[in-house]
Structure 1
Amino acid sequence: MIRQNNSCIKGKRCDNLYHRKLTRKGGGNLEVKILIVDDSKLIRSLLKTTLESELNCIIDEAKDGEEALFRAKLGGHDLIILDIFLPDVLGINLINQLIDIEKDWVPIIMITSAEDKNLLKEALEKGAIDYIRKPFDDVEILARVKAALRTKKLYNDLKEANEALKEMAITDDLTKLYNRRYVMSILGIEFRRSKRYKTPLSIIIGDIDRFKNINDRFGHLMGDEVLKNCARIIKENIREIDIAGRYGGEEFLVILPNTPLDGAVIVAERLRCKVSQYSIEVPCEEKPIRITMSFGVCSYPEAKIETEEDMLKAADEALYISKQESRNQTTFYIHGRFITIPKEAIRSEA
């Protein structure tokens, strides 16, 4: 296809309508990153000058398709201005590649001196949101660029809102740990992974001792504080790959991928010791109230453990034994038996 000559940008004084800068909510310029793809150095320079006169922006430049893809791999662009005709490729054929490489949706404005409406139609169908014909002026460029950036901002806002809603859907509002539904779904995924790849998997169920007494004696607000602090202690003392969730009222479930039983018992004892060091000041009480937790541990592979439900049942029974013994203890399931650890048998790691 014959390359058509680029025309220069006409210099026009911008109307005040187009002098308003994009601003952050509450004030302050919003910095945007724009990629300009055109084989004409003059066109790139004129576009850059025009955009920088009105926008707080960082301009990336590319002279052909290959360089455009390289720049896109660096990511973070809020807008791409793309010439239809490039030396090594038709710009239309870059649209999907650029969007995919950016790893996030980015608006693309096509620029061209071509009169072929079918080319413009194809560009819009492939994902471009607008086009500008050459020759063009700075007023038109700024108006269309600002409209595209507003669309990008709306997309980002919607994405953030959706992520916030997703986070709310999987998070326990009080403890900020994962909620029961989500942590149970993760357990199912991890159990299937463990079974498939023959890697160990462990779970810990922990329960706050005498929690009902705390609620009855000091009120639910104090009970909430205890729950939040126990959740914080658990989260601070497990690995990043471990998953902690609120399993029930005062119960917590910790999933330990790629962890055998002995490692899980060490983690449970660490949590038990850390919680036992925690106390809470209560008005009108001479001494702080000491908090303790009991734990039940189960691992896979293990005898009679065929499903994640079997793991939960065994860990729950182990927890029950810890509560029945004297509380503030850890019990684990192994070879069809439950073994309770003496409180000082395993020292907590600092």
Structure 2
Amino acid sequence: MSARVLVVDDVLPNVKLLAAKLTREYFEVITAFNGPEALERIKKEAPDIVLLDVMMPGMDGFEVCERIRSDPTTMHIPVVMITALSDASDRVRGLEAGADDFLTKPVNDIALFARVRSLVRLKMMMDEWRLRESTSGQFGILDQTLTVKNETASEARVLVVEDSPIDLEKITETLRRDTDSVVSADTSAKALDLGLSEDFELIIVSLTLLNEDALRLCSLLRSHERTRQAPILLVADEGDLSRVAKGLELGANDYLLKPIDRNELLARVRTQVRRKRYHEKLRHNYEQSLSMALTDSLTGVFNRRYVNAHLPRLMERSWESQKPVAILMFDIDHFKTVNDTYGHGVGDEVLKEVAVRANRNLRNFDLVARYGGEEFIVVMPDTDRDSAVAVAERLRRRVGEDFFAVSAPVGEITVTISIGISVVNGSTDTAEGMLKRADDALYRAKRSGRNKTVAADDPVEVQ
């Protein structure tokens, strides 16, 4: 996963060391050496995450973090504080200032890289939801007061998975300062049953479960629709950072090291609950307010009107962040024959199943839209040309290799698609230009035999 990381520290060797480590992990690194410079770089460079030293002269890291969080244009950028301070009170102060994590020097590389990747994934998802919410503002629906900071964390429903009676009592007693809705489980099986039968705003999972694979539980929680979006807070021993890193890769949102500090536990829980509630409101506003105006009534995916409103905004963000955007334009081969042979009812069934397969084989922040008739669009942020080709080929195979069940007497039919690809081409590129190049590439795919993928920059075959 590529990401732009801003490293802020007033000590040059510290900056160079951290920048070298991050560069080896294929992150793009930018640097700043004091608070004001950091705020300026954030405005100009739009980093995906900020690694922020605390002890700096003049404006310290706490103040920088508070300023990042108080600015609506930067408040959603993840911040990880890195410092020699090791007291729990300092960690709590950082979390209350708005930091997503607080790492103590010398930084454990495994924990750092896992944390950066986890927070960048979260930011990409949140950015896409915020952009969709912003797009809805064109239709007079945007809620301008919607921010994480404005959310409360009280009366959250929390599931605690812990088999140590002492630790369980400490966690539940601490949580009851904010809520009476705390449910516990001492095995993975009980936890999964509870998670699939009830709705929780946070799941706390101990990595020290006896005779249990807590990481397997995290994986299962992320694989089920009902628990997929529930934040997961890991509790681990200090010497178990490698498993913490694996948990973050599996989709856990945060972690807390034992011995448990009550104030730090509350600060991390409140952060996750506020973020969950903010995300749910974004999702609710987007789904409820725009479904009629901006989605296709047959397939349930977006319609052409939404693409035309959303794509220019996404391209503008691409120019600012200097990250690519790719478009797949595809349509169903010989769709008229399907309608003529089996009827328009079967044609509708095929359209709906194609939309389902497209959504199933893309990232959750990619956008799928029915552009008209049997033609679809996929808009993919942060995707270069080679990645777009790989995704397109996977989608083409998923559609063409499995039969489509239909209500006609024949029972099932084969359907294929042809795909054209274009990628944003510099700051002077336009949405119309991207769509035109994708459409031309799609035409070439169909002309060369159908059931093919063609990128706009592929060489033109001489007939």
Q: TM-score by structure 2 length?
A: 0.38
Which fold has the larger relative contact order, with Cα–Cα distance below 8 Å and residues 6 or more apart in sequence?
Answer: 1
Which entry has the higher C-alpha Rg, 1 or 2?
Answer: 1
